[in-house]
């Protein structure tokens, strides 16, 4: 370990631990109850999350900026979603192996941010509905899409500033697939959020989730090193108390009639700005679950 890390890490760890303790203490003072729908009635913590990410809207599409890790993550998550749908038999055989492999698939992305993943799935032919709570991020997504030379791509994407709870009221059993990528670690009421999301999914459809595991390894590497030392993400982007293990996600989805069929572990190499699959979920993970046929 370098002299710099030996000298600085104790202070960084203490600072990050204090931040976590404060979050836990604040959460413990709240009455345990179902939260109101997101939007104008969003909790203070949800509004803070939205505002935190909205500050990065102007740099969202800078592949060397604060969102560079999300851009790099497409190399894993796009094939994960594509191959997951193919494996479940959702894709017509004549489309497999083509550039329009997701043609005809209606996909809902919840928490789309500035559209980094949305556009890539649309480029494979998917009909995308993408939701986010941030006006600034949806504006950034729409602006980037408006600069697209391919007019067909614009027709395939519908960006909406709307909470999933509201969207679910009119879109039950509507989508072929559901994507929640790098979002769950920012959600307070994960059960309510996932319940509303799953309601939008057709029986037999797949939900794809990528998120951070709730482990010391992830906290130390992703928060202490990632935010305080490497500056791979702005300080305050991730919070240990909001992370969740793949087992807990599976348990929640089980209660909603969704059977987990695949869990892959992944990690981010800061120095290379690249992601890779690993034989462990101690860091991050990608999960696919299928909604039970009715």
Smallest CA-to-CA distance from 135 within 57, 65, 60 is with: 57
CB burial class (10 A; 0-12, 13-18, 19+) of residue 155? exposed
**CB under 8 Å to 277, separation ≥6 — which residues?**
76, 264, 265, 266
Q: Is 44 annotated as a binding residue?
A: no
**CB under 8 Å to 284, separation ≥6 — which residues?**
210, 211, 212, 213, 218, 265, 266, 267, 268
Smallest CA-to-CA distance from 102 within 144, 171, 153, 164 is with: 153
Q: Is 181 annotated as a binding residue?
A: yes
In angstroms, the CA 66 to CA 234 distance is: 7
Q: Is 123 annotated as a binding residue?
A: no
Q: Is 114 annotated as a binding residue?
A: no
In angstroms, the CA 187 to CA 197 distance is: 13
In angstroms, the CA 207 to CA 179 distance is: 6
User: Terminus-to-terminus CA distance in the chain, angstroms?
Assistant: 55
Q: Is 45 annotated as a binding residue?
A: no
Q: Is 293 annotated as a binding residue?
A: no
Q: Is 185 annotated as a binding residue?
A: yes
Smallest CA-to-CA distance from 125 within 146, 164, 156 is with: 156
Helices (H), the chain: 3-28, 44-54, 68-87, 116-123, 135-146, 151-156, 164-170, 190-199, 216-218, 246-254
Q: Which residues are annotated as a binding site for S-adenosyl-L-methionine?
A: 77, 111, 132, 181
Q: Which residues are annotated as a binding site for Mg(2+)?
A: 182, 185-186
Q: Which residues are annotated as a binding site?
A: 77, 111, 132, 181-182, 185-186
């Amino acid at each position: 370990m370098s002299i710099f890390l030996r000298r600085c890490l104790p202070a960084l760890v203490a600072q990050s631990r204090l931040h976590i303790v404060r979050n836990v203490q604040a959460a413990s003072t709240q009455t345990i109850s179902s939260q109101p729908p997101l939007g104008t009635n969003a909790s203070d913590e949800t509004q803070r999350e939205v505002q935190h990410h909205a500050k990065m809207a102007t740099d969202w599409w800078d592949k060397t900026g604060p969102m560079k890790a999300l851009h790099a993550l497409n190399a894993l998550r796009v094939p994960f979603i594509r191959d997951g749908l193919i494996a479940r038999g959702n894709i017509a055989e004549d489309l497999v192996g083509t550039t329009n492999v997701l043609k005809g698939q209606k996909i809902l992305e919840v928490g789309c941010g500035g559209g980094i993943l949305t556009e890539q799935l649309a480029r494979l032919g998917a009909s995308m509905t993408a939701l986010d709570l941030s006006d600034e991020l949806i504006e950034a997504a729409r602006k980037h899409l408006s600069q697209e030379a391919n007019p067909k791509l614009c027709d395939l994407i519908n960006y909406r500033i709307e909470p999933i709870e509201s969207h679910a009221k009119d879109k039950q059993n509507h989508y072929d697939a559901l994507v929640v990528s790098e979002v769950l670690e920012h959600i307070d009421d994960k059960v309510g959020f996932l319940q509303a999301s799953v309601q939008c999914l057709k029986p037999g459809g797949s939900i794809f989730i990528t998120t951070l595991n709730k482990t010391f390894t992830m906290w130390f590497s992703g928060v202490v090193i990632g935010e305080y030392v490497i500056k791979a993400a702005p300080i305050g982007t991730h919070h240990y108390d909001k992370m969740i293990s793949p087992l807990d996600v599976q348990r929640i989805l089980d209660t909603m009639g969704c059977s987990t069929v695949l869990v892959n572990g992944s990690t981010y190499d800061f120095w290379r700005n690249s992601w890779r699959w690993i034989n462990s979920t101690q860091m991050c993970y990608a999960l696919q679950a299928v909604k039970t046929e009715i």
